């Protein structure tokens, strides 16, 4: 789903809030240095319980913004290998906004947030808005069920079955399913 580039010198433990909500399809790259190289037991526990893959990248320091340059360089390397991926820089450093704008102009799905929870919540809100647009306001009460079906099921059949189980109305499920078809293209 997404690759998260954590500027640990900048955000410390707070930047990893939400790591437990990530999926096995996500990758978290934690960039740390001598200046910021410790984890609390609570954060350690959240990291090992996370379904996402975690990669620790100790960076060389000695010059101003060393970590930032190495993070941006690694980001470019990852983008070169997969331009269709979603990329998220987790940092309070607004200097990364120029990196985000550079890649957005090249049609890369990228953002900067201050913690993972912000990104997870933004993604959820965007998907719910897209669902509401497709199903119409009159069906708005079904948006949470549809969101859960799309988030929790990997196949089109799984989404359909989830909705049948939750709504118990074959006619309504058929109507909603047709409306959300554009959101099912990634499902098997």
CATH number of the domain bearing residue 78: 3.40.50
Structural domain contains residue 131: no
Nearest CA-CA partner of 71 in 3, 1, 2: 3
Q: Both 87 and 141 in a single domain?
A: no
Confidence of residue 56 (pLDDT cuts 50, 70, 90): very high
Residue 90 and residue 7 share a domain = yes
Using a cut of 0.85, tell me whether the model's pTM lies above it: no
Burial of 9 (0-12, 13-18, 19+ CB in 10 A): buried
Report residue 177's pLDDT band, with 50, 70 and 90 as the boundaries: very high
**Nearest residue to 50 (alpha-carbon basis) of 71, 70, 76, 30:** 30
pLDDT in tens, 108-128: 989 999 988 877 666 777 778
What is residue 82's predicted lDDT score, i.e. its pLDDT?
93
Domain identity same for 11 and 97: yes
- Identify whether residues 113 and 145 lie together within a single domain: no
pLDDT, averaged across the chain: 89
73 has a pLDDT exceeding 90: yes
148 vs 90: which has the higher pLDDT: 90
What pLDDT, on a 0 to 100 scale, did the predictor assign at position 70?
Answer: 96
Do 16 and 106 reside in the same domain of the chain?
yes
Q: Which domain holds residue 177?
A: 136-184
69 and 153, same domain (yes or no): no
Strand partners, 109: 86
Strands 53-58 and 27-32, how do they pair?
parallel
Same domain, 104 and 159: no
CA–CA dist 12, 139 (Å, integer): 42
- State yes or no: pLDDT of 176 exceeds 90: yes
Which of the four pLDDT bands, split at 50, 70 and 90, describes residue 164? Answer: very high
Decide if 127 is inside a domain. no
Structural domain includes residue 102: yes
pLDDT for res 4: 96
Top-confidence residue, 126 or 53: 53
């Amino acid at each position: 789903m997404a690759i998260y580039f954590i500027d640990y010198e900048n955000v410390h433990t707070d930047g990893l809030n939400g790591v437990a909500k990530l999926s096995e399809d996500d990758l978290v790259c934690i960039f740390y240095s001598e200046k910021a190289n410790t984890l609390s037991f609570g954060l350690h526990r959240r990291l090992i319980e996370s379904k996402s893959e975690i990669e620790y990248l100790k960076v060389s320091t000695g010059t101003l913004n060393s970590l930032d340059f190495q993070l941006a360089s690694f980001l470019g390397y990852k983008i070169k290998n997969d331009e269709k991926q979603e990329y998220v820089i987790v940092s309070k450093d607004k200097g990364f906004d120029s990196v985000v704008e550079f890649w957005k102009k090249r049609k890369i799905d990228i953002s900067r947030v201050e913690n993972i929870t912000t990104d997870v919540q933004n993604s959820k809100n965007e998907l719910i808005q897209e669902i509401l647009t497709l199903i119409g306001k009159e069906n708005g009460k079904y948006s949470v069920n549809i969101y859960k079906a799309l988030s929790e099921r990997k196949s089109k059949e799984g989404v359909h079955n989830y909705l049948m189980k939750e709504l118990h109305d074959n006619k309504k499920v058929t109507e909603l399913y047709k409306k959300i078809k554009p959101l099912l293209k990634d499902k098997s």
